[in-house]
Structure 1
């Protein structure tokens, strides 16, 4: 295993050189380490990992300025940034003493747009790589959509919201592919894990409800990247902590990422995904949910599947009674005579237990047409 850790730094212009060095050994990140470890075992060849990351940064921090031409929100963000001369001067002053930042200064730098990309990503282009593992999203979950009005205290919330993240992520992926000149560059998006708090306008929520303004909607925005080719989504819906935005259970994330990479970039014949929605059939007062990747469909605790909610045309959701039947799940409720729609694991921190024979969890989904 070889690893290269990019030093956390910023720049106001795109840089051509980067700070760091290769070493034989694992990267200094739990997710990067477990990904490299399991992929190294699966590949049976040396695996090289370049870790360029900065906790709590937004997707805008990793955007080149050219993306202002494709994303109006990012254009507004960068115009605000350029107009804030005091902020730019503060960044320049901190850049002059890169090894002497306080924690407050560190937080200030990583919550600005574009400047992390300039220093920590641009110099890597066009270094040969098979793909990029993207574990980010928390910073963009403060609002459902648009750019909020902010003041001097919470200026760092000036980022796109949950509803806008899907378009931002897809444009970001395509921009990176264009810059690497590699239309087949693989992107592995890590789904945000379970978390029980809401957004700025409603922080206290029912973590298991499918209608709350929760991270469920961000996961849906992340999943929208699957519209593009050579993109995979790492399912973490059974992980996380209801009260802690920094979950401790990171090893399965890397393990699942390694399976996806082995299948999609190395062409190995491995089970790389948990059950995904195939289709839903209405059968009287029951809904039958059919899955892909459902060989050996079961629950982790030998109880009935949990995390399913159903609704009729009225849009009133209720927990469903669920039972496994072969490679499908049958849903019903005494409260709904004519169920039509399903939401599974669609909550901030859902209680889930559905897996396939490879112990990989079922992916969240919803079949209703209602907007966020």
Structure 2
């Protein structure tokens, strides 16, 4: 259960039946409503590593054992979030080489990290019966669990030293559309943008809504490839913001943390009607959700071996980077959590000077000249540029341009640039010719 917040406990009983919930020194009572629904809220509690029991008493008594109090997160999305630990090369190699019960995988057994995997059969009327509830971290349950979600939980546990509960609810190949609240889709989106699914709200109704209002700290989201193939930009931003707002609303927490993954390099141009800029334009649409409070985004431009593989295997690093976001922004740790992020530009003669946030210790990750910078004049034709680090700024120029106007960075589906900060976090792709970008001439 989530620490430091009132914890919702709910269920069903006979209409008008008295219900008593006891946990530790707390006792809460309520009466089931006309539909038999009831809910109580336990007072906020500190983290506890010692398991405890809860009793729920009415005409019958239910006892729930082995309960911990700590941090709870929900991760969702499509196949890259669903990507299981069994598919993770780090985990799978250890299991193959040492055996399922070897010491090599002992660090993946942790009674203080709990996993809840939402089965997609929840979309069926009786789907709730397929779930087995929470499980302690061990090979049997871990192998099917979200690798990004687990590695996120493991990093949090290492840094916070409190129990971590991770809920995973994802569906491979899904667009964002079926994860949207169906009511919101009907009222505000369907009339504006075409939906990718004939059943908007399909996965939300079966795999997200039943989880609310289970008290938690925040959400992780790794999805977008399917909508990118549909060449969505503004449409995706609109849907994504609605998803964030509606999920927060269902959890009665307008400030719940929401952190997401910018999708990785991939050869989208092989798709019909797509080109090398389809991906960076979609990433830009993802980033516009950062206008909402308590959001954050990690970059994955350096986590791909082959751009034809839409499922990069470096999920441990994705989980770690998401955890850095949470540790800094949710838990207030004074750590680096983002790579160089474009802030503003200044035109200085035949060069452009770029300023960044999170720019401490700008460096080339491989020691080679900076890559994937392009520059354009008033005609808007971008050409390869020379980019040089000067303190915490980048100076960009081209011998073919005397009057530069704009710069683009990593604005190509295959871009795997080498610009990092001293924390080893990659720079965020950007273009200065995006509307409302900050420019100055000097």
Is this a same-fold pair by TM over 0.5?
yes
> Which residue of 314, 317, 324 maps to 1:259?
324
Alpha-carbon deviation of 1:4?
Answer: 0.7
Alpha-carbon deviation of 1:318?
Answer: 0.6
Q: For 1:135-284, list aligned pairs within 5 A.
A: 135-144=222-231, 161-198=232-269, 200-202=271-273, 205=275, 212-240=276-304, 241-284=306-349
Alpha-carbon deviation of 1:198?
Answer: 2.1
> Which residue of 160, 168, 172 maps to 1:43?
160
> Which residue of 149, 174, 195 maps to 1:57?
174
Secondary structure class of the residue paired with 1:201: coil
- More strand by percentage: 2
The question of whether the paired residues in 2 share the 8 Å contact of 1:277 and 1:291 is answered with yes
Single out whichever of 16-25 and 187-196 deviates more from structure 2: 16-25
Question: Cα gap change, 1:245/1:285 in structure 2, threshold over 3 Å: closer, same or farther?
Answer: same
How far apart, CA to CA, are the structure 2 residues paired with 1:286 and 1:43?
Answer: 46
The question of whether the paired residues in 1 share the 8 Å contact of 2:260 and 2:322 is answered with no
Question: Cα gap change, 1:214/1:307 in structure 2, threshold over 3 Å: closer, same or farther?
Answer: same
Single out whichever of 127-136 and 246-255 deviates more from structure 2: 246-255
1:49-80 per-position Cα deviation (integer Å, ceiling 9, x unaligned): 001111111111111211121213578649x9
How far apart, CA to CA, are the structure 2 residues paired with 1:77 and 1:13?
Answer: 24
Alpha-carbon deviation of 1:370?
Answer: 7.0
Secondary structure class of the residue paired with 1:202: coil
Aligned counterpart, 2:187: 69
How far apart, CA to CA, are the structure 1 residues paired with 2:227 and 2:316?
Answer: 24
Aligned counterpart, 1:97: none
How far apart, CA to CA, are the structure 2 residues paired with 1:73 and 1:15?
Answer: 31
> Which residue of 199, 205, 208 maps to 1:118?
205
How far apart, CA to CA, are the structure 2 residues paired with 1:117 and 1:282?
Answer: 47
Scaled by the length of structure 2, the TM-score of the pair is: 0.68
Aligned counterpart, 1:340: 405
RMSD, aligned α-carbons? 2.3
Q: Work out whether 1:34 is the aligned partner of 2:151.
A: yes
Aligned counterpart, 2:389: 324
Secondary structure class of the residue paired with 1:198: helix
Higher relative contact order (CA 8 A, sep 6+): 1
How far apart, CA to CA, are the structure 1 residues paired with 2:359 and 2:191?
Answer: 40
How far apart, CA to CA, are the structure 2 residues paired with 1:52 and 1:5?
Answer: 6
Q: Work out whether 1:25 is the aligned partner of 2:137.
A: yes
Secondary structure class of the residue paired with 2:400: coil
Alpha-carbon deviation of 1:202?
Answer: 3.5
Q: For 1:85-104, list aligned pairs within 5 A.
A: none
Single out whichever of 25-34 and 122-131 deviates more from structure 2: 25-34
Aligned counterpart, 2:216: 129
Aligned counterpart, 1:101: none
1:189-242 per-position Cα deviation (integer Å, ceiling 9, x unaligned): 110011122274335x5xxxxxx3421111111101001001101111222231
The question of whether the paired residues in 2 share the 8 Å contact of 1:260 and 1:272 is answered with yes
User: Which 5+ residue runs of structure 1 have no aligned equivalent?
Assistant: 82-111, 145-160, 206-211
How far apart, CA to CA, are the structure 2 residues paired with 1:226 and 1:199?
Answer: 29
Alpha-carbon deviation of 1:16?
Answer: 8.2
1:91-129 per-position Cα deviation (integer Å, ceiling 9, x unaligned): xxxxxxxxxxxxxxxxxxxxx532211111111001111
How far apart, CA to CA, are the structure 2 residues paired with 1:62 and 1:309?
Answer: 37
Secondary structure class of the residue paired with 2:167: strand
Aligned counterpart, 2:32: none
The question of whether the paired residues in 2 share the 8 Å contact of 1:141 and 1:199 is answered with no
Secondary structure class of the residue paired with 1:55: coil
Aligned counterpart, 1:103: none
